[in-house]
A and B are shown apart, each in its own frame.
Chain A
């Protein structure tokens, strides 16, 4: 049975075993594994959300991942940034994360950038298939949104603070879709930055895991994604809620030509 299948596909025996539980899913299957293997995802932000996200995308067989983060690992990161240990303090997050996820899946191609993502450095995403925003501040998120509109890339956004999270999929690769700034136009970072606020480690893990799920679903063109929806997560009361996002005709980011 296995040999019969093997004649029509490019996956090795090792891959058929490695991805067995995904191959058994009707929603993924061998075709899905082969498709994911051709895809290139940029993950911006390798913190509490980005770490589990990078792990799941690596083990799920995404072909290429570009990791973008300018930060160095600190002791206060270790409670939730699960790719790092005490031995990694003082090293660049992207260096440690790339080594770890490459070890988890040796066939994965990994590129890294230690440049802070902004307008001037945004061309790094021009050849990827998808961008995932796992950063921790509004100004970088806005720069990512603008860049994904410019280069026409789907954008998946995840955020977490205290015991609440938000996730959305913005189809910035399509015309006339709502963008991140249709939702958030004038947020001030000091009100919502995580510098002096706590965050539950398992919440960042859940947000990273949902981002990986949505990434795979969008890449495999599954229906019922969080496209143009905002998922509100309240871990304190364990309540999830979906809100529809519509294009803001006055949004100066996605309406600008």
Chain B
């Protein structure tokens, strides 16, 4: 299956790109996808997930054609 990934705000800076297509992947959760994408990086940041513009938890099982957005929490002010 294939999904489209979008990186938002400082996640975009970390990944060095704002979007990418992931092809030939197994059916995994959105949290597992994040771990796969960042496995060679030293990333301490907390990330949040939206699939098809809906907020989901890390256990959300991805489907073919999903659009995934990774974004950071913001609590300052």
A187-B46, A241-B69, A243-B55 are contacts. A192–B77 as well, Cβ < 8 Å? no
Say which residue of B12, B45, B75 sits within 8 Å of A159 (CB atoms).
B75
Q: In angstroms, how far is the closest chain A Cβ from the Cβ of B43?
A: 12
Main secondary structure of the interface of A (DSSP, over half): mixed
Say which residue of B46, B54, B72 sits within 8 Å of A188 (CB atoms).
B46
Say which residue of A141, A189, A236, A243 sits within 8 Å of B69 (CB atoms).
A243
A187-B46, A192-B46, A244-B53 are contacts. A232–B71 as well, Cβ < 8 Å? yes
- B18/A134 in contact, CB under 8 A: no
Say which residue of A136, A184, A230 sits within 8 Å of B76 (CB atoms).
A136
How many Å lie between the Cα of A48 and that of B77 in the bound state? 6
- B46/A243 in contact, CB under 8 A: no
- B77/A164 in contact, CB under 8 A: no
Q: Does A47 contact B (CB under 8 A)?
A: yes
Q: Which partner residue on chain A sits nearest B44 by CB separation?
A: A191
**Number of chain B residues close to chain A: CB under 8 A:** 23
Q: A158 contacts which chain B residues (CB < 8 A)? A: 77
Q: Which partner residue on chain B sits nearest A50 by CB separation?
A: B77
Q: Which partner residue on chain A sits nearest B13 by CB separation?
A: A236
- B55/A191 in contact, CB under 8 A: no
Q: Does A242 contact B (CB under 8 A)?
A: yes
- A244/B76 in contact, CB under 8 A: no
Q: Does B74 contact A (CB under 8 A)?
A: yes
Say which residue of A50, A204, A230, A248 sits within 8 Å of B57 (CB atoms).
A248
How many Å lie between the Cα of A132 and that of B69 in the bound state? 27
- B55/A241 in contact, CB under 8 A: no
- B10/A191 in contact, CB under 8 A: no
- A239/B75 in contact, CB under 8 A: no
- B55/A230 in contact, CB under 8 A: yes
Q: In angstroms, how far is the closest chain A Cβ from the Cβ of B77?
A: 4
How many Å lie between the Cα of A43 and that of B69 in the bound state? 31
Most buried by B among A134, A193, A241: A241
Q: Does A237 contact B (CB under 8 A)?
A: yes
- A191/B76 in contact, CB under 8 A: no
- A199/B76 in contact, CB under 8 A: yes
- Per the 8 Å Cβ criterion, residues 14-61 of B in contact with A are 18, 44-46, 48, 50, 53-55, 57
B: residues with CB less than 8 A from A are 8-10, 12-13, 18, 44-46, 48, 50, 53-55, 57, 69, 71-77
19 A-B pairs whose Cβ atoms sit less than 8 Å apart in the complex: A135-B77, A136-B76, A137-B75, A138-B75, A161-B74, A161-B76, A163-B9, A166-B74, A183-B48, A187-B75, A191-B73, A192-B46, A192-B76, A197-B76, A204-B77, A243-B53, A243-B69, A243-B71, A246-B55
A: residues with CB less than 8 A from B are 45, 47-50, 134-138, 141, 158-166, 183-184, 187-189, 191-194, 197, 199, 204, 207, 230, 232, 234, 236-237, 239, 241-246, 248
Q: Beyond the given A187-B46, A245-B55, could you list 13 further A-B residue pairs with CB under 8 A, ordered by the A residue number?
A: A137-B75, A160-B77, A166-B73, A184-B73, A197-B76, A234-B12, A236-B9, A236-B13, A242-B53, A243-B69, A244-B54, A244-B55, A248-B57
